[in-house]
Amino acid sequence: MDLHKHDRPQDAAPRGTAPRVSELRASDADRDRIADMLREALAEGRLDADEHAERVEGVLAAKTVGELDVFVRDLPAAHAGHPATAPAAPHRPTAGAVPADPDENVVAVFSSAVRKGRWRASRRIHAYAVFGSVEIDLSEAVFEHQQVVIKAFAVFGSVEVRVPENVSLRGAGGGVLGSFEVDTLDAADAEAPVVYVDGWAVLGSVEARPRRGKLVADLLDRVHRTAERGVRKRV
């Protein structure tokens, strides 16, 4: 019996040949790179919200590098060198940037409390959910400060935080017979706001995630102004 023959995978490429780059399996880093290009195209107005959402959905389902490239083939970013990435946001707020006392309290005791829509995000927000639920949605908020801290306490309740996808998100907390989940997010813009979520979940849950397709409007305005200045300089 030829053991080597049976050990060889049936779908292996013939010896001496290598798959083209477009045929390679896509990694999470590859998907993140394409998603960043799509996010930049949305900010520049090259894609509308529906086109962006449709392409992001396709990126998540793509299996190979070639399938990913299809979604950015018509965008300038796909044909230029990769821009330098912004330095990662610090894991803790800068000393003195955020007050020790809350600017705002959101409390739900045997009830629910919601903060969403077009509102001004305070530097420090304390959220308490006791046998209730708190929702803090920053996806359309106005960020007047670069660093925002949300202190969340959930006791037999839940605190849900949503942020735009073009800010940085950091988390530090824990759960006692509960869950504390923060999806770390790094913004491409070094000047983007940073949202810090910490606290405790006791027989409850604290969850913080980006809301896909939602961007900080004020940050977009700043990006557009920067782009316009660059155009004027070239002219």
Contact 141, 120 (CB under 8 A): yes
Residue 124 has pLDDT above 70, yes or no: yes
Q: Please, what is the average pLDDT of the chain? A: 81
State residue 200 phi and psi, 5-degree precision.
-145, 150
Among 110-119, 191-200, 219-228, the minimum mean pLDDT is found in 219-228
pLDDT single digits (tens) 125-164: 999 999 999 999 999 999 989 899 999 999 999 999 999 9
pLDDT single digits (tens) 24-42: 788 887 888 898 889 888 8
CB atoms near residue 117 (< 10 Å): 9
Residue 219 has pLDDT above 50, yes or no: yes
For the segment 194-219, the average pLDDT, to the nearest whole number, is 87
- Half-sphere exposure (Cβ direction) of 14: Cα atoms closer than 13 Å: 1
Give the pLDDT of residue 18.
47
Angle between helices 28-43 and 49-61 (to 10 degrees): 170
Give the pLDDT of residue 192.
87
Residue 227 has pLDDT above 80, yes or no: no
73 CB contacts (<8 Å, ≥6 apart)?
A: none
- Half-sphere exposure (Cβ direction) of 1: Cα atoms closer than 13 Å: 3
Give the pLDDT of residue 86.
57
Residue 111 has pLDDT above 90, yes or no: yes
Residue 169 has pLDDT above 60, yes or no: yes
Residue 108 has pLDDT above 90, yes or no: yes
For the segment 203-218, the average pLDDT, to the nearest whole number, is 84
pLDDT single digits (tens) 59-85: 999 888 888 888 988 888 776 654 455
For the segment 164-169, the average pLDDT, to the nearest whole number, is 89
Quick check: helix, strand or coil at residue 126? strand
3-state DSSP helix/strand/coil % of the chain, to nearest 5: 30, 30, 40
CA angle 231, 144, 103 (to 5 degrees): 170
